[in-house]
Amino acid sequence: MPEGRTPVTRILLLLSLLAGAAAPTPTPTPAWAKEPSAYRGVAFGTPYADFPGRLLLTGCHPSTTDHEPGQRTCESNGFQANGVAVEDVLFFQNDLFVGVSMSFESDDYEKLRDVFVTKFGEPTHLETTRLSSRSGARFDNETMGWDGRKVAVSIERYGETLEKGSATMFLNSYLEQQEKERQERLKKDADSF
């Protein structure tokens, strides 16, 4: 027996070690079984040149700002889901499909939310925030999100205006790159301030 340890101390130490060993190990977050790998049948990462014949792109615009080099956005012909008209804009980075931003009438939020829950399962997070209009009217904005290993999906009742809701589906790698570039711009702006 090591010097300075009484039999009682040794038993207590052994019991605490056994209790720690018997404690359940945390379970890893399960994989998102319904994580999308494609949007409207087109896989993320598909080259822009391969889009003809897959989705009708009605207007494409290369980035005109210096902080979004290699980015292109294209409007699609939109689609209907559960009676809701959805407009969509596809994003390409270095000519690879990285995500989509969608808009719809905010009054149709519940109908489209039901489609998202059916397609993607229960959200990984749900948030309600209080918004106010200029006239003082108050609105509750619900935002639902799904965080996957490769793709993040979100839908919210109110987007840029109270009349339009929004939804997004983007590769995490693209979102991380955009955040890194945003932080670099902020640092550059702060340094020159």
- Provide the residue ranges of all domains of the chain, joining segments of one domain with +: 39-188
Tell me the sheet residues that pair with 60.
74
CB atoms within 10 A of CB 165: 27
Residue 107 token pair: 């009054």
The fraction of the chain above a pLDDT of 70, given in percent, is 81
Angle at 170 between CA 165 and CA 174, to 5 degrees: 135
Between 162 and 146, the higher pLDDT residue = 146
Structure confidence at residue 114 (pLDDT): 97
Phi, psi values for residue 189, rounded to 5°: -65, -40
Q: What is the pLDDT of residue 27?
A: 46
C-alpha torsion sign, points 62, 63, 64, 66:
negative
Convert the pLDDT of each residue in 96-143 to its tens digit. Answer: 999 999 999 999 999 999 999 999 999 999 998 887 777 777 888 999
Q: State the pLDDT at residue 71.
A: 85
